[in-house]
Amino acid sequence: MVDLVMQESTDKEGHSDPLYQNSRVTVSVDMKAISNSLDYSSSRIYEGTAQLFDPGLYALDAQIELRNGRWNAELQQYSPEYENTEMQTTLPNNKYVHGKVHVLFDPRHPTYLKRHQNLPLCTDGDIAGRWIPEQNLPRAWKPWQYMRPIEDGRVWLPYHCRLRRISHAEFVFHMSRQRPSIHWYGDSNSRRTLRPFIMGGKWCHEANTTTRLDCLCNDAPRDLFPDEWYDSMPVPHWYRVHTAGVDGNEIYTDLRLQQRQPTDPRPILDKYPSDFSFGPDYIPPGYRLRDDYFDLYYHFTRGTLDMYGSYWKRDITLDSVAQYPVANLVVFQMVTWDASFGTYKNFVHQVPQLVNRLRAIYPHAEFIYRSGPYWCCRNAEDQTKKYSRLRFQAFDTLAKKYFQQKLKARVWDVANLARQRPPESKRLPENMPCRSAHSRSEQIYLDNQIFMNMLVNN
């Protein structure tokens, strides 16, 4: 793993900007071996490129993973517990590089942080950006003009577009008219992602709850829903997502048997007042009397693997999908289980078949491919799990290519945000004590805001 990390916010000409002070802007560098030698006793040479936009002085941070690469941890090979070890790194002194990487201060450049609010709204889910401490942001910025900070107080700010906070009420209103039926395939990471939508943002949204186990990593907290719902939970799950959050009578109701009714026709007024904090459960005044909804059909899958009674070849068929209303949007999340328990050879064989099946079943639907989370799989006690960043990226890159080429899928990359976090944050075991290694609730809310911006701003 190689990152370029901002050490100082002063460039080599002496310009310093408090916007970047102590930000430790991090740019993850995708490395590629330029030698295919299988002699593991010899040195390997890797190369990579990176774009740096923010002014300051950058240094290399490199880690050696004990499990690295798609060729590792396959079949019967023993998988050691995940660790990483810091490498000693230097930049060569020559006529091209002088030991340090400087990015010059340019207040006219469109990616300069103070100009961020001049950027167009984000409509893609695969966006480059950086993490900036909230305390550094210009005081003139309003809370709804940037995303909520995560647990370390940093805010995600894309380079080439801007995200706006979208309330769940506005999102449901948009979906009820543009995409009233969603079919969603994924594992427990998807199930956890759906939690804020179902609850209308009333989940781990208060400051005194973010250290609860369910907010840290547990995806099925018993304090959110009655126990009897878990005892008889259908698979797939059928959710009717409401403007104001969960409706206890419909959350696991078989929506196949219900007729759709028109959503609220009342006009929306005063959508964005000038003074509010805009928390996850906020409902803008214009939406408070409305009752809009869309239907979401969630099917639990484990990527391409046949495990624990779940297998796409049995579960995703023309007959099984025909029982639901026609999908306007299909979201497919994968890689997590395949990278952990499968082999790359099997993945290469299965993904094209899966994509062809989806194209036949959903000839007219819009597709979104969702990556697995960055924190996947590394800290679990199960030693049969396989993980490294390079392994994860190899699986993700292959799946992404097929979904984009064959299904014209848009990409919702939830792993990229964590890759750009400072190295010390990525090395902390912040997803424990859960074996699942799911993302924290703060990260889930940010991931979902990117998803909502993709759909509402487009």
390: tokens are: 């390079």
Residue 8 or residue 248, greater confidence: 8
Q: How confident is the model at residue 76 (pLDDT cuts 50, 70, 90)?
A: very low
Tokens 């000038």 identify what position? 274
Counting DSSP H helices and E strands in the chain, the numbers are: 12, 14
pLDDT at residue 215 is higher than 90: no
CA distance 275 to 263: 29
Flag the least confident range among 182-191, 269-278, 414-423.
269-278
pLDDT at residue 381 is higher than 60: no
Q: Which CATH architecture has domain 168-456?
A: 3-Layer(aba) Sandwich (3.40)
pLDDT at residue 375, as a whole number: 66
Average pLDDT over the chain, rounded to whole? 82
Cite the residue boundaries of each domain of the chain with CATH code 3.40.50.1110: 168-456
Instruction: Select from 183, 142, 172 the least CA-distant residue to 455.
Output: 172
pLDDT tens digits for range 386-406: 666 777 888 999 999 999 999
The helix (run of H) or strand (run of E) holding residue 417 is helix 415-419
pLDDT tens digits for range 156-187: 999 999 999 999 999 999 999 999 999 999 98
Are residues 243 and 291 in contact, defined by beta-carbon separation less than 8 angstroms? yes
CA distance 303 to 305: 6
CA distance 304 to 187: 11
pLDDT at residue 382 is higher than 60: no
Percent of the chain whose predicted confidence (pLDDT) is above 70: 78
